[in-house]
Amino acid sequence: MKKSALRQLDLVDKASIPLFVVTMVAEYAALRKVPKRTFGDLRDADEQTLSATQLPADPLVPVGYERKDTVASLSMLAGNIAFAFATLSAFSKFDRFLFRHRVANVGMRRGSIATAMVLWDFLYYWDHRWMHEVRLLWANHVTHHSSERYNLSTALRQPWSGFLTFWVFAPMPLLGFPTAKTAKAGQLNLLYQYWIHTEVIDRLPDPVEKVFNTPSHHRGHHGANQQYLDKNYGGILILWDKLFGTFEPEVRRVKYGLTKNIDTYHPMRIAYHEMADIVRDVRGASGLRSKLHHVFGRPGWTPTR
């Protein structure tokens, strides 16, 4: 099965690793030349009371790289790739099953790759949003938010439990998008999101910021500041957030990471700490309702006294 999976890697897949290496080295070199903020000052960022509507915006002062943090992110990418290969056959069979039982042939029309890109991006918005709103799904996505730094290596800090949300993209085959076309839309979408994980690029021209997800918008998404929590879910387009009321501009300085950081570089702990916490909370909860809330409620839910 491993050879079969490797054969399905296309030119974009094969070019990605050298692209990641070259761009991370370039980013690291660029950040070395600019002033950086003291890492500890991030811990006070959530104490700021200025609202996002109060201008001017805080200047962008980067955090930079840290060796152990970068190694941890790359380790998570390696695990993510291994899990992707291990589950590829099962996911592909499920996708082809839905395609055989499709209810429309939208994905078979001329120019349908553009339609696939937009639809995948729309579904990604909801996939991303639900991972922030349902604790069991957050247990997968929390991996990506676990770094207290923000650079291109952070983009590669990928989770190991994608099976929890693969079903969100079921409308793709049901609407007649072949497996290969769905995969291509997802591949290009996630590759787009790689470059927005950077502090080298400040705000872009207004027409770009109004339509597309940018480094500025996504820095806010990675913020643990109260104003940034559960905002800016878009993949390529930020329009979904503006349409569904989850947009927040980057104005106050961003405190990266989690509201309660895990302070570890161990891959297994990064990947599964929230799963372990869910098990602990379920065991300690009294009553079925509380147990279910610890699994399917919002992250951070606690029973009322």
Q: Are 63 and 149 in contact (CB under 8 A)?
A: yes
Least reliable range by pLDDT among 84-93, 136-145, 196-205 = 84-93
Per-position DSSP letters for 236-251, written without gaps between them = SBSHHHHHHT------
Q: Are 248 and 52 in contact (CB under 8 A)?
A: yes
CA distance 163 to 177: 20
CA distance 52 to 212: 19
Q: At 151, is the pLDDT very low, low, confident or very high (cuts 50, 70, 90)?
A: very high
Q: What is the CA radius of gyration of the chain?
A: 20
Give the pLDDT mean for 100-129.
95
Q: Which residues pair with 212 in a beta bridge?
A: 237
Q: Are 145 and 270 in contact (CB under 8 A)?
A: no
pLDDT exceeds cutoff 60 at 1? no
pLDDT exceeds cutoff 60 at 36? yes
Of 49 and 284, which is predicted with more confidence? 284
Q: Encoding tokens for residue 252? A: 């106050």
CB atoms within 10 A of CB 168: 17
Give percent of the chain above pLDDT 70: 92
pLDDT of residue 3: 45
Q: Report the chain's mean pLDDT, rounded to a whole number.
A: 92
- pLDDT, tens only, 238-275: 999 999 999 999 999 999 999 999 999 999 999 999 99
Of 1 and 296, which is predicted with more confidence? 296
pLDDT exceeds cutoff 70 at 107? yes
pLDDT of residue 38: 82
Q: Encoding tokens for residue 260? A: 């309660």
pLDDT of residue 53: 54
Q: At 49, is the pLDDT very low, low, confident or very high (cuts 50, 70, 90)?
A: very low
pLDDT of residue 54: 59
10 Å CB burial of residue 157 (0-12, 13-18, 19+) is buried
Taking the domains of the chain in order of start, what are their residue ranges? 2-35+56-296
CA distance 153 to 137: 23
257 membership: H or E segment, kind and range: none
pLDDT exceeds cutoff 70 at 44? no
